[in-house]
Amino acid sequence: MRQLKIYPQQPVIVDKQNADRTIGYFGDSFCSNSTSQSSWCNILAEKLNCGTITHWGVGGSSVWHMLLEFHKLAQEKKLPEHIVIFYTEQDRIYHPEVLLPIGKAHEESQTDIEIASDSYLKHLDFAEKNAFQYKSSIQWFDQNTLAELTSHKIVQAFSFDIPNFSLTNGKILDYPLMPLYRKNIDNGVTDSELCNHMTPKQNLDLAETFAKMLK
């Protein structure tokens, strides 16, 4: 039987010496943990002199996973000083423990969870509902959870597309990252040459952009 991919139950925390500031990344694979020094996450942490890095970026995860985990940390007052949030695409299905397919059914369902996911995608998944739920949830999150974090420095960004609604807290990155990845692939760059779906130069540029926004 095929093994389902399980969500990490705790964030990846990287501690460095001689730096006492903290930073956290929340979202999908554009901000997932990487040991590569070319990752913008590591470059940004160094630029801001952050000694502790909290990674809640999970490749293939849904926006609901990020929102719920972030909200839990906020309630527990365990959020880092600097926060970077990436909202992924709206059509990913949420399960508290398992990473489910990204907007499509399995070719051959084998587990109860996969069968349930496939049935939902075929019979109950509607784009208009997803868009409304996505907008409502993110705006509520921005206007309530983030609005209370007055002592934190926050950047909000979107992985795939800039939506047709506004956010009010922290700084907002005004372009999505998926077009960069698609351009890289179109230009013949392989995934093995990329980190967080970007070239080393793109990673450096993004880190510098975020550093200016967070200072």
Asked if residues 42 and 36 have their Cβ atoms less than 8 Å apart, the reply is yes
- Supply 84's token pair: 């970077």
CA 82, 195, 12, 95 dihedral sign is positive
Q: CA 145, CA 207: separation in Å to the nearest integer?
A: 25
pLDDT digits (tens, 9 = 90+) for 130-141: 999 999 999 999
Four-point Cα dihedral 188, 190, 194, 200, nearest 10: -40
pLDDT of residue 114: 82
Q: CA 214, CA 212: separation in Å to the nearest integer?
A: 6
Which residue positions in the chain have pLDDT lower than 70?
1-12, 16-19, 101-109
pLDDT of residue 113: 84
pLDDT of residue 163: 93
Q: CA 189, CA 184: separation in Å to the nearest integer?
A: 5
pLDDT of residue 1: 45
pLDDT of residue 111: 80
pLDDT of residue 123: 92
pLDDT of residue 9: 58
Question: 120 CB contacts (<8 Å, ≥6 apart)?
Answer: 93
pLDDT of residue 6: 65
CA distances from 83 to 22, 87, 107, 111 (A): 9, 13, 38, 36
Topology given in CATH for the domain delimited by 12-214? Rossmann fold (3.40.50)
Helix (H/G/I), strand (E/B), else coil: 23: strand
Q: CA 117, CA 131: separation in Å to the nearest integer?
A: 19
Residue position matching structure tokens 């991919």: 5
pLDDT of residue 119: 87
> pTM for the complete prediction?
0.91
- Supply 96's token pair: 């508290």
